[in-house]
């Protein structure tokens, strides 16, 4: 024989009950079917009774919704008119009783535990009544008659001796199909209605399977099986084919809601396997839980991850504990006497404190009774007051293959470290099937995601990107990512998940990834209003692992967010030059934060767009070389202008053309005043190992300062005045076969920028369009400097450089 249990969602609607009918009727051996209340009804009964107890007359409305729900289901699942009428009558009989009890609660404003237990029992009594008339030849039983409980602290626990005997008597002979309400029971001593705790129908089924030596216990629910993590939190969680009883027990005890924890113990003892199946997808094979330990298949080192977010850590400490025998005995005896359950314990070998985890609701009582227990030691100063830290979360990774496998704890804690999550306490027993740790509750989701990703999805890596600024560079970048994504996934196993996009006004956030086909429209219609500050909060608030903030703006306000972001373990890729050229202290702090946190702060495109200048200099220095001198043409805009001016194109027009071609900064004065080149030179000098500020750079400008005072409009009005002078200069140099270049130089830390003329023998002479060139002299590249040359401006090459920075971050895991 088999025992099948169908949970609330499996009997929640007309369609699902009809699936149950199909599944059960296809079985050709005796079967006991255990059912929960219709999905959500237990919660509703508890809410309604709480309202009634508070004299809230609206309870009546809730109650009538409960009546309607049941009557509607009966209407839908029982086609035969006569049977339907009879079931309706019996259901109404039960609902009338329930209505009277609720009315009583309403009138006397009192809801005892006993009354509450009676009220919730109607959920399973009604559902079993209904389903018993849907499945052919099903015989309805009343579990209150054979599941017997005794009280221990505030819990009803099963009296197995009596229960087993009653079950064997009740199901002898065993009908072809028996229908049993789950969850409910009665007290062995006084016959009052009790229950087995929330989710207890699983346990009812297990008790029946054990007492009657079933061949299998099947738990039918609304997912395809036991999954590697809670699918409501981790959407990449997948079904585990096989689990051992121990693994299943470890996972359920720790929050995997799919099986009510006490369920496993009885069947485990009798070696009856459990099968988890999906009522809504009966073809799926489900998860098979048995005594057999699965051989390591070379893939996942662990089986699953589970968590509970209701955690309080209690610490008993004091130097007077060291080496003293009996302190732990007294701690746990005191807790046990007060009915406080402890689910994790950690004591370091220094013995000066013992930390353990309890539910938040038990915390105050635990502190009180422990302070009382150790009152005299505290008075003498041998021990401190007991400390409680509430609102934490506990996570466990589970798997029998962890046994004797080195490196699992390393991988776990390494993953958490990279995600910037600090572990407050941890525990691993010598059975080595479970490593549990406690973290701040706000980090739970991030912890689960990063651990799941690192242990189960190692075949591909995910980077979660926030892209800020969707102008020319940001827009190009998103388009390049959109086009390249399939290849990256296929060839490199890298998934770039765009979880946030923002412009100066709005931000769009989606953990599952924003569709790049129409993000502009979505940002406009669904984006939230945002400022740099709220943007930062959104990014940090998402608490997402492997995250990268990509700044494609030119905004100092956005650059000012980096430190906060990096302290939240978010890497930063900046096309924005503000941060790297800001005061040295800030630049250094950002670089140090990145190093300390194990994340990246990359800004290759700050100089020479996509040209690999900063990376090359870093490689040189990392291999022991010293950068002595830099000479460079670093402004694509200025170079374009000098290459464009001629007899027919005066300076002012060339500036306009540089703007139109998208080379210039949004405000061209930043280029023409040399400010942009100064920033770039400062960044290069710093990356070359010198402490330089913008004010240290000597400058010889080619447009007098007066042109830069006043508004942008004034500038455009005045600049044509320079045209004649410039054309003369150009003509004169042309006669000498020379060309003008705006050059940045660094010599042992001394920096300067200015206009220079070069003849055709110099590498700077041939520098077409908006190209940049840099000559790097080092101890090794001395007589012949290293030269890097190419497009130094333009949205597509800059975006490609940002893209390359992003990809280099993917290698950090």
Binding piece for ligand ASP, criterion CB under 6 A, among 36-44, 334-342, 429-437, 686-694: 36-44
Q: Does 420 bind Mg ion (CB under 5 A)?
A: no
Q: Closest separation between CB of residue 232 and ligand ADP, Å?
A: 5
* Min CB(199)–Mg ion separation in Å: 4
Query: Which of ligand ADP, ligand ASP, Mg ion, none sits in contact with 227, Cβ below 5 to 8 A by type?
Result: ligand ADP
Q: How many chain residues touch Mg ion (CB under 5 A)?
A: 2
Does a cis peptide bond (omega within 30 degrees of 0) precede residue 586? no
Nearer to ligand ASP, 37 or 722 (CB): 37
> For ligand ASP, which residue of 36, 306, 571, 581 counts as binding (CB under 6 A)?
36
Q: Which is nearer to ligand ASP, 155 or 198 (CB)?
A: 198
Counting every residue written for the chain, the total comes to 813
Strand-pair partners of 547:
464
Could you give the angle at the alpha carbon of 716 between the alpha carbons of 714 and 722, nearest 5°?
105
Nearest of 32, 268, 100, 810 to residue 491 by alpha carbon: 810
When the beta carbons of 37 and 335 are compared against ligand ASP, the nearer one is 37
372 lies in the binding site for ligand ASP (CB under 6 A): no
Fill in the per-residue mask, 248 to 277: x = in contact with ligand ADP (CB under 6 A), - = not in contact. Answer: --------xxx-------------------
233 and 448 Cβ atoms separated by less than 8 Å: yes
CB contact burial 237-260 (16+ within 10 A = b; e otherwise)? bbbbebbbbbbbbbbbbbbbebbb
Binding piece for Mg ion, criterion CB under 5 A, among 139-147, 196-204, 363-371, 564-572: 196-204
- Contact between 201 and ligand ASP by CB under 6 A: the answer reads yes
Neighbours of 644 (CB within 10 A): 18
Determine the interface stretch with ligand ADP among 3-11, 63-71, 398-406, 543-551 (rule: CB under 6 A). 3-11
Cβ closest to Mg ion, residue 263 vs residue 346: 263
Q: Dmax of the chain from CA atoms?
A: 116
Query: Using the rule CB under 6 A, which residue among 2, 9, 78, 792 binds ligand ADP?
Result: 9
Residue of 507, 400, 48, 16 lying closest to 222 (CA atoms): 16
223 binds, among ligand ASP, Mg ion, ligand ADP, none (CB under 5 to 8 A by kind): ligand ADP
Using CB under 6 A as the binding criterion, the count of chain residues that bind ligand ASP stands at: 13
- Closest contact distance (angstroms) between CB of 495 and ligand ASP is 37
- The residues, ordered by sequence, that sit 6+ positions from 800 with a Cβ below 8 Å of its Cβ are 480, 610
Q: Does 3 bind ligand ASP (CB under 6 A)?
A: no
* Contact partner at residue 222 from ligand ASP, ligand ADP, Mg ion, none, CB < 5 to 8 Å by partner kind: ligand ADP
Q: Is 42 in the site for ligand ASP (CB under 6 A)?
A: yes
* Residues 682, 750 contacting (CB under 8 angstroms): no
Kindly tell me which of 222 and 389 has the beta carbon lying closer to ligand ADP: 222
Rounded CA separation 674/681 (Å):
10
Q: Enter the DSSP assignment of 604.
A: G
Tell whether residue 263 is a contact of ligand ASP (CB under 6 A).
Answer: no
What, of ligand ADP, Mg ion, ligand ASP, none, does residue 478 touch, CB below 5 to 8 Å by kind? Answer: none
Q: Would you call 14 helix, strand, or coil by DSSP?
A: helix
Question: If binding is defined by CB under 6 A, does position 199 make contact with ligand ASP?
Answer: yes
The answer to whether residue 181 forms part of the interface with ligand ASP (CB under 6 A) is: no
Q: Which is nearer to ligand ASP, 36 or 206 (CB)?
A: 36
Region near ligand ASP per CB under 6 A, out of 68-76, 199-207, 626-634, 702-710:
199-207
Helix, strand, coil % (nearest 5) of the chain?
45, 20, 35
Q: Which residues are catalytic?
A: 680
- For residue 85, state whether it binds ligand ADP (rule: CB under 6 A): no
Long-range CB pairs of 669-675 (<8 Å, 24+ gap) are: 669/708, 669/712, 669/715, 671/635, 671/637, 671/638, 672/637, 672/638, 672/703, 672/707, 672/708, 673/701, 673/703, 673/705, 673/708, 674/699, 674/701, 674/742, 674/753
Three-class DSSP category at 215: coil
180 or 523: CB nearest Mg ion: 180
**CB-nearer residue toward ligand ADP: 511 or 762:** 511
Does residue 568 belong to the site contacting Mg ion (CB under 5 A)? no
Q: Is residue 37 a contact residue for ligand ASP (CB under 6 A)?
A: yes
Show the tokens assigned to 79. 């086609």
- The DSSP code for 319 is G
| Residues 215, 216, 217: CA angle, nearest 5 degrees | 140
Site residues for Mg ion, 276-305, by CB under 5 A, read none
Q: Is 199 in the site for Mg ion (CB under 5 A)?
A: yes
Residue 198 contacts which entry, ligand ASP, ligand ADP, Mg ion, none (Cβ below 5-8 A, type-dependent):
ligand ASP
Q: Which is nearer to ligand ADP, 256 or 327 (CB)?
A: 256
608 binding ligand ADP? (CB under 6 A): no
Say if CB 355 and CB 426 are below 8 A apart.
no
Is 123 a residue that touches Mg ion (CB under 5 A)? no
If binding is defined by CB under 6 A, does position 183 make contact with ligand ASP?
yes
Looking at residue 348, what DSSP letter applies? -
> b/e per residue, 694-716, with b = 16+ CB within 10 A?
bebbebebbbeeebbeeeeeebe
Residue 717 in tokens: 């009005």
CB 383 within 8 A of CB 320: yes
d(CA 523, CA 509): 9
Beta carbon of residue 574, minimum distance to ligand ASP (angstroms, whole number):
51
Rounded to an integer, what is the distance from CA 432 to the centroid of its chain?
Answer: 26
Question: Would you call 235 exposed, middle or buried from its count of C-beta atoms within 10 A (0-12, 13-18, 19+)?
Answer: exposed
The CA-atom distances, in angstroms, between 274 and each of 175, 225, 241, 256 are 22, 11, 12, 15
Binding-site member from 17, 20, 115, 123 for ligand ASP (CB under 6 A): 123
Alpha-carbon distances of 216 from 11, 140, 141, 208, 263, rounded to whole Å = 21, 21, 20, 11, 13
Burial of 773 (0-12, 13-18, 19+ CB in 10 A): buried
Q: Under rule CB under 6 A, how many of the chain's residues touch ligand ADP?
A: 19
Tokens of 586: 């800030």
The piece of 194-202, 499-507, 759-767, 798-806 that touches ligand ASP (CB under 6 A) is: 194-202
Q: Can residue 568 be called a binding residue for ligand ASP (CB under 6 A)? A: no
Give the footprint of ligand ADP on residues 165-224 (CB under 6 A).
199, 221-223
Q: Does 232 bind ligand ADP (CB under 6 A)?
A: yes
Contact between 12 and Mg ion by CB under 5 A: the answer reads no
First to last CA, the chain: 51
Instruction: For residue 718, say if its preceding peptide bond is cis, omega within 30 degrees of 0.
Output: no
- Interaction of residue 399 with Mg ion, rule CB under 5 A: no
Q: Which of 231, 417, 749, 754 binds ligand ADP (CB under 6 A)?
A: 231
Q: How far is the CB of 419 from ligand ADP (least distance, A)?
A: 21
Answer yes or no whether residue 230 interacts with ligand ADP by CB under 6 A.
yes
Least CB distance from residue 197 to ligand ASP, whole Å? 7
Q: Scan residues 295-314 and list those touching ligand ADP (CB under 6 A).
A: 304
CB of residue 267 to ligand ADP, shortest distance in Å: 16
Q: Determine if 399 is a binding residue for ligand ADP (CB under 6 A).
A: no
Q: At what angle do helices 41-53 and 59-77 cross, to 10 degrees?
A: 150
Our finding on whether 637 is near ligand ADP (CB under 6 A) is: no
Collapse the DSSP code of 245 into the 3-class scheme (helix H, G, I; strand E, B; otherwise coil) and give the result. helix
- Interacting residues toward ligand ASP by CB under 6 A: 7-8, 36-37, 42, 123, 182-183, 198-202
- Interacting residues toward ligand ADP by CB under 6 A: 7-10, 36, 199, 221-223, 226-227, 229-232, 256-258, 304
- Interacting residues toward Mg ion by CB under 5 A: 7, 199
């Amino acid at each position: 024989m088999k025992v099948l249990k169908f949970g609330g969602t499996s009997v929640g609607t007309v369609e699902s009950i009809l699936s149950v009918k199909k599944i059960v009727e296809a079985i050709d051996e005796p079967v006991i079917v255990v059912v929960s209340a219709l999905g959500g009804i237990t919660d509703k009964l508890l809410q309604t009774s709480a309202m009634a107890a508070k004299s809230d007359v609206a309870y009546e409305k809730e109650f009538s919704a409960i009546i309607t729900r049941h009557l509607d289901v009966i209407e839908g699942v029982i086609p035969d008119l006569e049977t339907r009428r009879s079931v309706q009558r019996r259901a109404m009989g039960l609902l009338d009783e329930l209505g009277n009890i609720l009315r009583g609660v309403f009138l006397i404003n009192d809801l005892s535990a006993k009354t509450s237990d009676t009220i919730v029992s109607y959920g399973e009594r009604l559902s079993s009544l209904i389903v018993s008339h849907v499945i052919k030849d099903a015989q309805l039983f009343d579990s209150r008659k054979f599941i017997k409980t005794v009280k221990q602290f505030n819990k009803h626990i099963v009296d197995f001796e009596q229960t087993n005997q009653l079950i064997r008597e009740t199901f002898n002979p065993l009908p072809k199909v028996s229908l049993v309400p789950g969850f409910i029971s009665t007290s062995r001593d006084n016959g009052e209605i009790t229950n087995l705790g929330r989710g207890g129908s699983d346990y009812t089924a297990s008790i029946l399977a054990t007492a009657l030596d079933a061949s299998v216990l099947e738990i039918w629910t609304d997912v395809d099986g036991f999954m590697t993590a809670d699918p409501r939190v981790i959407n990449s969680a997948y079904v585990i084919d096989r689990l051992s009883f121990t693994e299943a027990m470890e996972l359920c005890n720790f929050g995997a809601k799919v099986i009510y924890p006490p369920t496993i113990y009885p069947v485990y003892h009798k070696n009856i396997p459990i099968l988890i199946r999906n009522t809504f997808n009966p073809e799926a094979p489900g998860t098979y839980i048995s005594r057999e330990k699965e051989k390591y298949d070379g893939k996942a080192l662990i089986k699953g991850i589970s968590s509970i977010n209701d955690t309080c850590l209690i610490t008993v400490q004091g130097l007077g504990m060291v080496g003293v025998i009996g302190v732990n005995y007294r701690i746990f005896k005191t807790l046990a006497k007060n009915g406080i359950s402890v689910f994790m314990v950690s004591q370091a070998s220094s013995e000066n404190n013992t930390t353990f985890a309890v539910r938040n609701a038990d915390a105050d009582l635990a502190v009180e009774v422990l302070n009382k227990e150790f009152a005299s030691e505290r008075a003498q100063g041998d021990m401190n007051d007991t400390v409680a830290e509430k609102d934490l979360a506990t996570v466990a990774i589970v798997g029998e293959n962890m046994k004797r496998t080195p490196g699992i704890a390393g991988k776990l804690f390494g993953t958490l470290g990279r995600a910037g999550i600090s572990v407050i306490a941890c525990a691993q027993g010598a059975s080595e099937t479970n490593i549990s740790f406690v973290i701040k509750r706000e980090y739970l989701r991030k912890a689960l995601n990063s651990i799941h990703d690192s242990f189960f999805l190692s075949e591909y890596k995910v980077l979660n990107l926030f892209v800020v600024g969707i102008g020319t560079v940001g827009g190009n970048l998103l388009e390049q990512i959109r086009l390249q994504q399939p290849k990256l996934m296929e060839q490199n196993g890298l998934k770039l998940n765009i979880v946030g996009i923002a412009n100066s006004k709005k931000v769009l956030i989606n953990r599952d990834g924003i569709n790049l086909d129409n993000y502009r429209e979505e940002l406009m219609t669904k984006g939230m209003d945002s400022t740099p500050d709220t943007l930062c909060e959104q990014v940090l608030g998402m608490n997402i692992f492997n995250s990268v903030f990509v700044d494609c703006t030119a905004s100092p306000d956005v650059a000012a967010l980096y430190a906060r972001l990096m302290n939240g373990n978010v890497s930063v890729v900046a096309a924005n030059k503000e941060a790297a050229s800001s005061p040295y202290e800030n630049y250094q702090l950002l670089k140090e934060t990145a190093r300390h946190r194990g994340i990246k702060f990359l800004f290759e495109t700050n100089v020479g767009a996509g040209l690999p200048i900063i990376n090359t200099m870093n490689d040189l220095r990392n291999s022991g070389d010293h950068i002595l001198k830099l000479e460079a043409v670093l402004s694509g805009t200025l170079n374009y202008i000098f290459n464009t001016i001629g007899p027919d194109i005066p300076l002012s027009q060339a500036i306009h053309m540089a703007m139109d071609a998208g080379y210039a900064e949004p405000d061209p004065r930043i280029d023409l005043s040399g400010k942009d080149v100064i920033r770039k030179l400062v960044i290069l000098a710093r990356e070359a190992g010198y402490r330089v500020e913008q004010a240290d750079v000597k400058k010889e400008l080619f447009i007098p300062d007066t042109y830069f005072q006043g508004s942008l409009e004034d500038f455009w009005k005045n600049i044509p005045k320079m045209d004649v002078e410039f054309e003369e200069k150009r003509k004169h140099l042309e006669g000498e076969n020379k060309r003008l270049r705006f050059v940045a130089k660094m010599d042992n830390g001394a920096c300067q920028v200015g206009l220079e003329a070069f003849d055709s023998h110099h590498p700077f002479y041939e520098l077409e369009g908006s190209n940049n060139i840099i000559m790097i002299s080092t101890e090794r590249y001395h007589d012949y400097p290293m030269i890097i040359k190419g497009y130094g401006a333009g949205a597509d090459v800059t975006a490609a450089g940002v893209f390359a920075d992003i990809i280099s971050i993917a290698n950090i895991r």
